[in-house]
Amino acid sequence: MHKWVRSVPWLLALLGLGIPLVGTGFVVWPVVVVWLVVLGFVWLFGRHLPTTRAQRIIAALVALPVLFLLAFEGGWWLIPADLARLAIEILDRPTEKAVPTV
C-alpha cells in the first residue's frame, strides 16, 4: 500500500476537527484544542512504539467505543478517522519482506 495512504486518517481527523470549529464560529475551540493535544500525544509517542498489525487493528477497535462514549465531547468528529485507520490496517496485507512499521 502506498505510504501516503497511511496519512489519510490523520487528515480526516484534522478535517473532522476543523469543520465543526469553523462551522460553529470557533465556539468549540476548547474541545478542539483538547482533541488536538490528545492526537499530538498519540502521534508523537505512538510512532516510536513498535507494533504488529494485530495490535494496530485492536487499538482501532478499542478506540471506536471510546469515541462513541466521548461523542458529546467531540469524539464523534474523530470516528471517520478511526474507521479509516481500521480499514487501512485490515486491507493492508503484510508481504513476506515487510518490515514492521515503527
- Chain centroid, CA 17 distance in Å: 12
Q: Which 8-state DSSP code applies to residue 75?
A: G
Which residue carries 469553523 as its cell? 22
| pTM score, whole prediction | 0.84
Give the model's pLDDT for residue 54.
93
Give the model's pLDDT for residue 102.
56
Model confidence at 56: pLDDT above 70: yes
Which residues does 79 contact at the CB level (< 8 Å), separation at least 6?
A: 16, 64, 67, 68
The rounded distance, in Å, linking the Cα atoms of 88 and 45 is: 20
What mean pLDDT do residues 18-34 have? Answer: 96
Give the model's pLDDT for residue 48.
87
Higher-pLDDT residue of 96 and 65 is 65
Query: If you average pLDDT over every residue of the chain, what do you get?
Result: 91
Model confidence at 98: pLDDT above 60: no
- Would you kindly state where each structural domain of the chain is located, as residue ranges? 3-91
Give the model's pLDDT for residue 99.
60
Higher-pLDDT residue of 100 and 62 is 62
